[in-house]
Amino acid sequence: MDLEHELLAIERPLWTNDAAIYESSLVEDAVLVFAETGVMRREPALAAIRQENADGRRWAEVQFDDVLTLRLAQDAALLTYRATARWASASSRIAVLASSVYVRRDGRWKVAFHQQTPV
């Protein structure tokens, strides 16, 4: 499997908004940046996702376009794309430019940084 497909296989499930998937996919010191919340570390992000899950907030659909990957080092890579997504409780979609930096830890790619910028 090439790098792009390998990273997308990790990234797409994150858009299910499942806290367990995030927990297994983020490094311990991960940083996430969202327009709605600002900069978040791993544990506060997981708590926010768990609250969204408790409130029934999940993504119903997501589409990735303009996907680019860049190997930054042997064990580091950048994945960037445009996501168009719709919350299950919403009728309209949102669009963001998203970037994730992956690092390989114990032979497995994990997210060290993720940012979404509304389009």
3-state secondary structure of 32: strand
Q: What pLDDT score was predicted for residue 57?
A: 86
Q: What pLDDT score was predicted for residue 84?
A: 97
Q: What pLDDT score was predicted for residue 114?
A: 97
* CATH fold for the domain made of 3-118: Nuclear Transport Factor 2; Chain: A, (3.10.450)
Q: What pLDDT score was predicted for residue 72?
A: 97
Which sequence spans correspond to the domains of the chain?
3-118
Cβ(69)–Cβ(78) under 8 Å?
A: yes
Nearest to 77 by CA among 43, 101, 61, 49: 101
Contacts of 75 (CB under 8 A, 6+ apart): 103, 104
Q: What pLDDT score was predicted for residue 102?
A: 98
Q: What pLDDT score was predicted for residue 33?
A: 97
- Which residue do the tokens 């409780």 mark? 89
Q: Tell me the sheet residues that pair with 98.
A: 81, 116
pLDDT below 50 — which residues of the chain? none
How far apart, in Å, are the Cα atoms of 116 and each of 54, 106, 108? 23, 27, 23
Q: What is the pLDDT of residues 20-46, one digit of tens each?
A: 999 999 999 999 999 988 999 999 999
Q: What pLDDT score was predicted for residue 53?
A: 87
